[in-house]
Amino acid sequence: MSTEILIIDDNAEIRLILQEILSDSGYKTRLAANYNQALREIDKKLPDVAVIDVKLDKSDNDGIELLNHLKLKDKDIPVIIISGHANIEMAIKSLKSGAFEFIQKPFDKERLVNFINRAVENIKLKNENKSLRSKLFHSFDLVGLSQNVISIKDQINKLALSDSRILITGPTGSGKELIARKIHKKSKRSQNPFIILNGALLDVKKYEEELFGEEKIDGSISYGALEKASGGFLLIDEVTEIPLETQSKILRVVIDQKFKRINGNHDIKVDVRIVCSSSKDILSEIKYGNFREDLFHRLNVFNVNIEPLSSRIEDIPVLTDYFITEICKNYNRREFKIEDKNYLLNYSWPGNVRELRNLVERIVILDSDNNSEKIMNIIKESLSKSSEDKFSITDNLSFPLREARENFEKEYLTTQLKKFGGNISKTAKFVGMERSALHRKLKLLGVKDLN
């Protein structure tokens, strides 16, 4: 499919010159002669690249407004701004608004084509990267045999039918974003945006700008996450990291279903489903005064909690095989087997499912010949760097021998029980004990029946 360039200029002669230059270079073109016509063309179908005159028929900076409109729809679309009344201030303004390049009329043909070629290469590269990331992430499913995962799958199906707010809790790397995406995918909003606002990564001073957007002195608009997510989902990741002052404003949005941009005077109505996630204990954050209790109750209409991977050991073999299949497929590699999964089962997985997925991807990249010994070396080296062995003997050095032995036996047998889904017979066979003897040992150690 040929690359399509949208040319927006109120001068008919300039439009035709640009069309001829770009057509001769092998590009398909569409034309717009004024602001409203340009809006219709953009809304009808997004171009691969846009060439926009800075001044059309609506205002002195309506070209910049169109640039902002395009960036709201897809921030990666390259936009080349052209102007017959150029100055340094105008160039800086357009580049700050996200223009790929700024060029002054009359323009040199070769320079223009060079800009277009670079813009096309830029968007192709971004699209390839987005496609790969999307393929790697969105192809993944919520996989597991644990009761926790089975319950969450049922919750996803039910929550997809409603528009209620959701709070997803669980440790870092456990799959909170994946759960939110699965709900979005199954919901009536699935064709509308899924926008993420990561509370943990933002500069404290930029929370409100990122969330509400800003109306700038020069008349340009910076759109926030609430508007970008219009009609769709807004995932506020690590919601407890948001400052208290901003929390109160989010509460008003939730209650009133409207907000004002920074420096704005007009209310903007909200049609967005808010989903929040947190790896912290929110009730503790409320207790210590870090999170508003009233906002918590507004956001926590439904709670989905995903447990750490170390608490659902039965999911580890299933997830490992699943990631091997999916990641090998994405890298066009032959599948391999991990012959001895005990090392994986006995590891504490502080990074949860994300750490397991990264480990499998590391094996796929580093081992090209499916060598079992090399695979085990990669596993041992990777996991030993991440954390100490779960059963490290140094943990018990401060206890008397008998107590240390009991601690180890209790932890060891609890782990083996989880590995076999609470099945006493299978656990007894694996650890080399009679079934009745294992029962007695578990009772003595105070280990509860997992069933």
Q: What is the pLDDT of residues 331-370, one digit of tens each?
A: 888 899 888 888 898 888 989 999 999 999 989 888 777 7
Residues of the chain with CATH 3.40.50.300: 147-307
Nearest 5 degrees, angle CA 146-CA 391-CA 386?
80
Q: How confident is the model at residue 435 (pLDDT cuts 50, 70, 90)?
A: confident
Q: What average pLDDT does the segment 417-423 reach?
A: 76
Model confidence at 117: pLDDT above 60: yes
Q: What is the pLDDT of residues 251-270, one digit of tens each?
A: 999 999 999 999 988 899 98
Q: What is the pLDDT of residues 126-176, one digit of tens each?
A: 776 655 555 554 557 899 999 999 999 999 999 999 999 999 999 999 999
The rounded percent of the chain whose pLDDT value lies above 70 is: 89
Q: What average pLDDT does the segment 419-440 reach?
A: 82
pLDDT at site 437: 83
Show the 3-state SS of the chain: CCCEEEEECCCHHHHHHHHHHHHHCCCEEEEECCHHHHHHHHHHCCCCEEEEECCCCCCCCHHHHHHHHHHHHCCCCCEEEEECCCCHHHHHHHHHCCCCEEEECCCCHHHHHHHHHHHHHHHHHHHHHHHHHHHHHHCCCCCCCCHHHHHHHHHHHHHCCCCCCEEEECCCCCCHHHHHHHHHHHCCCCCCCEEEEECCCCCHHHHHHHHHCEECCCCCEECCHHHHCCCCEEEEECHHHCCHHHHHHHHHHHHHCEECCECCCCCEECCCEEEEEECCCHHHHHHCCCCCHHHHHHHCCEEEECCCHHHCCCHHHHHHHHHHHHHHHHCCCCCCCCCCCHHHHCCCCCCHHHHHHHHHHHHHHHCCCCCHHHHHHHHHHHHHHHCCCCCCHHHHCCCCHHHHHHHHHHHHHHHHHHHCCCCHHHHHHHHCCCHHHHHHHHHHHCCCCCC
Cα 206 to Cα 228, 266, 306, 385: the distances in Å are: 16, 21, 30, 35
Q: What is the pLDDT of residues 198-210, one digit of tens each?
A: 877 666 678 888 8
pLDDT at site 128: 67
Model confidence at 103: pLDDT above 50: yes
Q: How far apart are CA 205 and CA 193, in angstroms?
A: 25
pLDDT at site 56: 86
What sign has the CA pseudo-torsion 255, 259, 262, 266? negative
Pairing of strands 221-222, 166-169: unpaired
Cis peptide before 308 (omega within 30 of 0): no
pLDDT at site 154: 96
Please answer whether residues 5 and 50 qualify as being in contact, where contact means their C-beta atoms are separated by less than 8 angstroms. Answer: yes
Please answer whether residues 213 and 221 qualify as being in contact, where contact means their C-beta atoms are separated by less than 8 angstroms. Answer: yes
pLDDT at site 250: 93
* Better pLDDT: 88 or 247: 247
Q: What average pLDDT does the segment 67-94 reach?
A: 81
Please answer whether residues 69 and 34 qualify as being in contact, where contact means their C-beta atoms are separated by less than 8 angstroms. Answer: no
pLDDT at site 450: 60
Q: What is the pLDDT of residues 362-397, one digit of tens each?
A: 898 887 777 888 888 888 888 875 544 444 444 555
Which CATH code, of 3.20.10.10, 1.10.10.60, 3.40.50.2300, 3.80.10.10, is assigned to 393-445?
1.10.10.60
pLDDT at site 58: 73
Q: What average pLDDT does the segment 90-113 reach?
A: 84
- Please give the model's pTM, rounded to 2 decimal places: 0.61
The correct answer on CATH 1.10.8.60 for the domain covering 310-386 is: yes
pLDDT at site 392: 45
pLDDT at site 400: 64
pLDDT at site 430: 80
Fold held by 4-134: Rossmann fold (3.40.50)
Fold held by 147-307: Rossmann fold (3.40.50)
Q: What average pLDDT does the segment 30-36 reach?
A: 91
Question: Residue 422, by phi and psi: left (phi above 0), alpha (psi -120 to 50) or beta?
Answer: left
pLDDT at site 178: 94
Residues of the chain with CATH 3.40.50.2300: 4-134
pLDDT at site 396: 52
pLDDT at site 393: 44
Q: What is the pLDDT of residues 206-237, one digit of tens each?
A: 888 889 988 888 767 788 899 989 899 999 99
pLDDT at site 391: 44
The rounded percent of the chain whose pLDDT value lies above 90 is: 39
